[in-house]
Amino acid sequence: MSQTAQAVVQNLVDRAVKLGDRQLAADIRAFAAQRQFGLVFEHNRPERLRLYGKPIMEGDVVQVLPERGKKEDSSSQLLWLVNAVRGGLLI
């Protein structure tokens, strides 16, 4: 935890102690000890990720984008499951 984050946590603990709530101070300390502070708060994996140039394979979920220069609309937001690839064509 950075010094700034530690100072903020300690300030909250001090305020809780001044109010006479030692349980709140203990809860703040416990929460701060298990929480990551910084740029990344939670580690997660995106549900979807556009991989331009990746060869399409059976079982992939794809999104058909509009031609260059055209804006995306609701039809280009649809996701398609590739059942098979035959001769370079998706089926």
CB 55 within 8 A of CB 73: no
Q: pLDDT tens, 27-84?
A: 888 888 876 655 655 667 777 788 888 888 899 988 888 888 888 888 888 888 999 9
Global model pTM greater than 0.85: no
Q: How far is CA 81 from CA 31, 45, 60, 84, 88, in A?
A: 43, 20, 6, 9, 15
With 60 as the cut, is the pLDDT of residue 1 above it? no
